[in-house]
Chain A
Amino acid sequence: MGKLLSEEVKERKSGAVARIYQWVDERLGLSEVIELAKKKEVPEHRHSFWYYWGGITLFLFLVMCVTGVLLLVYYRPGDEAYESVRQITYDIKFGWLIRSTHSWAANLMIGAAFVHMFSAFFMRAYRKPREFTWWSGLVLLILAMVFGFSGYLLPMDELAYFATKVGLSIPAVIPVLGPWVADIIRGGPEITGFTVSRFFALHVVILPALFIPILIFHLILVQKHGMSVPDGEAKDVRTIPFFPNFAMRDLAIWLITLNVLALLAALFPWKLGAPADPLKPAPMDIHPEWYFMSSFQMLKIFGQLFPGAVGEFLGLAVFTLGLVLWFLIPFFDPKTEGGLRARATMYFGLFVLGVLVITTIWGYWALPSTK
């Protein structure tokens, strides 16, 4: 009797759920999306592992959005910036964890985006018809790095202060417009509460307003063109359904990412240094975040080779040239069969990767505190 009753309740429930689903479906067309997801196939081959890095980057971006909104609850830009971050870190319950998660997620996100970019590069996923996916991805990575740069100053501790001071002196070497641009970004000749307010507006309003539409564009293109299959795997490639097979694997990898992030954030909480003091000398081991370390070190090398502003200007010119070439790769290597240009592109990619890795390691090795 009890069993019959419970079955009856279950049936009624499922009937109610079905009716609600139908009501929503008639208005939003959910069934069409589900049908589309059922038909969608993802190629599977020995390089499939690299397909997950875009998803990891997206997941970390979502974590950053959530933790960023939570930090906004207590963060106060301007002259109170340091005090508010001190409160978040030491006074507010679990504030240290939210801040640490935000900072770690930022670093992991940029790391994942780099892996995603280089894997797309070496699998030649920039070729027709995915040129716009490549370009939008590069713009997203650049914006993510600007996110990182602007977020780095917000606690206004001494390392953030001096790293931003150094970072903003780079555009100042651009002839004619450089010093004016740097002053406008800083809100004056020095880094003050005005700079923090500007960077805050950039970090929480302007950059998300640019980033999110480009991200949506990027994701739509990924859906439209599907996953790119590398040359060597193109023949008789096996596919798996996107839903549930690929989606479940993606979810599992998100879960692993979440666990790694939680461990890092809890075991290695992000530090807060002493408050910024313009009258104090810069700390000995002043350095930018790791993703700017390569350019930091290259500027140092150029500075030693060509003393004065010439070195910095040349360094900046080389970065700009490298970035332009990186953008133009789809035009240089448009063919799908391996040839001279394909090989040259591969060597160029390996060269760029090598330079980035070596100068980053060199940068850390050259820090006074590591000697």
Chain B
Amino acid sequence: MSNQSETMGRIGGDEKGPESGDLMDRRGFITAVVGVVGACYAAAIGYPVYRYLASPVEEAMAAGAVKEVTLPKEAMDLPQNSALMFKFGTRPALLIRHEDGTYTAMSAICTHLGCTVTYEPDQKRVFCPCHSGVYDAVSGKNVAGPPPHPLERYEVEIRDGQIIVRRS
């Protein structure tokens, strides 16, 4: 078998010749073809498997790509100095009604390690219980603890007696 291969391997050119490095002999050609066909098979198997596993991720991305959320009418009854958790797409968000009656909406996902934050009315701050991160309740700015970035702020609009929250 090996003798045959060696004999066949020389068909493409003299191995000791000056051009042997540039010319592809039969063995090299077969190796290349097997490699390409193998890669095609790997892709033909790998692609459906990847799409299968990524299917819920794709769905969540599509659901999370919302730009605007209309909150239920009850949100208008939110007492002053309190907050309401709601879903902005697939992710938790926070609507805060301040003492002066104004509203602020922001992402409720801590920018440190992704825990869900909470509004603390007594201290009028947004707090992350996981690592004691503190955010400003009006601006969403990270003011103490490990969070590296402010919370994402959303625009709040009141239209026809309903609160509409949208991405800035």
A92 on interface, CB distance cutoff 8 Å:
yes
> B102 to nearest A CB, angstroms?
42
Q: With A3-B21, A245-B1 in contact, is A93–B49 under 8 Å at CB? A: no
Give the contact stretch, choosing among B50-58, B88-96, B128-136: B50-58
Q: With A73-B53, A93-B58, A245-B1 in contact, is A98–B48 under 8 Å at CB? A: yes
Contact with B along A73-86 (1 / 0, CB 8 A): 10000000000000
A93 B21 Cβ-Cβ under 8 A: no
Interface residues in B1-30 by Cβ distance below 8 A to A read 1, 21
A178 on interface, CB distance cutoff 8 Å:
no
Interface residues in B39-53 by Cβ distance below 8 A to A read 41, 44, 48-49, 51-53
> A252 to nearest B CB, angstroms?
11
A95 B55 Cβ-Cβ under 8 A: yes
- Count A-B pairs with CB separation below 8 Å: 33
Q: How far is the CA of A176 from the CA of B51 in the complex (A)?
A: 52
A182 on interface, CB distance cutoff 8 Å:
no
A351 on interface, CB distance cutoff 8 Å:
no
Contact with B along A233-263 (1 / 0, CB 8 A): 0000000010011000000000000100010
Q: How far is the CA of A91 from the CA of B58 in the complex (A)?
A: 12
A56 on interface, CB distance cutoff 8 Å:
no
A94 on interface, CB distance cutoff 8 Å:
yes
A274 on interface, CB distance cutoff 8 Å:
no
In the complex, chain B residues whose CB is within 8 Å of the CB of A244: 1
Q: Which residue of B lies closest to A88 (CB)?
A: B52
> A364 to nearest B CB, angstroms?
32
A70 B55 Cβ-Cβ under 8 A: no
Q: How far is the CA of A97 from the CA of B48 in the complex (A)?
A: 8
In the complex, chain B residues whose CB is within 8 Å of the CB of A94: 48-49, 51-52, 55
Q: Which residue of A lies closest to B52 (CB)?
A: A94
Q: Which residue of A lies closest to B1 (CB)?
A: A245
- A93 contacts which of B1, B41, B44, B55 (Cβ < 8 Å)? B55
In the complex, chain A residues whose CB is within 8 Å of the CB of B21: 3
In the complex, chain B residues whose CB is within 8 Å of the CB of A91: 55
Q: Which residue of B lies closest to A71 (CB)?
A: B52
In the complex, chain A residues whose CB is within 8 Å of the CB of B54: 93
Q: How far is the CA of A3 from the CA of B18 in the complex (A)?
A: 12
In the complex, chain B residues whose CB is within 8 Å of the CB of A70: 49, 52-53
Q: How far is the CA of A70 from the CA of B55 in the complex (A)?
A: 12
Contact with B along A164-202 (1 / 0, CB 8 A): 000000000000000000000000000000000000000
Interface residues in A1-22 by Cβ distance below 8 A to B read 3
- A98 contacts which of B41, B52, B56 (Cβ < 8 Å)? B52
In the complex, chain B residues whose CB is within 8 Å of the CB of A92: 52, 55-56
A95 B52 Cβ-Cβ under 8 A: yes
Q: How far is the CA of A241 from the CA of B2 in the complex (A)?
A: 12
Q: How far is the CA of A165 from the CA of B55 in the complex (A)?
A: 34
Interface residues in A50-104 by Cβ distance below 8 A to B read 70, 73, 91-95, 97-98
Q: How far is the CA of A91 from the CA of B62 in the complex (A)?
A: 14
Q: Which residue of A lies closest to B49 (CB)?
A: A70
Interface residues in B115-163 by Cβ distance below 8 A to A read none
In the complex, chain A residues whose CB is within 8 Å of the CB of B41: 258
Q: How far is the CA of A94 from the CA of B52 in the complex (A)?
A: 5
Ranked 3 nearest A-B pairs via Cβ: A94-B48, A93-B51, A93-B55
In the assembled complex, 23 residue pairs joining A and B whose CB atoms fall closer than 8 Å, in A order, are A70-B49, A70-B52, A70-B53, A73-B52, A73-B53, A91-B55, A92-B55, A93-B48, A93-B51, A93-B52, A93-B54, A93-B58, A94-B48, A94-B55, A95-B55, A97-B48, A97-B52, A98-B48, A98-B49, A98-B52, A241-B1, A244-B1, A258-B41
A-B contact sample (19 more), CB < 8 A, given A3-B21, A97-B48: A70-B52, A70-B53, A73-B52, A73-B53, A92-B52, A92-B55, A93-B48, A93-B52, A94-B48, A94-B51, A94-B52, A94-B55, A95-B52, A95-B55, A98-B49, A98-B52, A244-B1, A258-B41, A262-B44
Interfacial residues, chain A to chain B (CB-CB below 8 A): 3, 70, 73, 91-95, 97-98, 241, 244-245, 258, 262
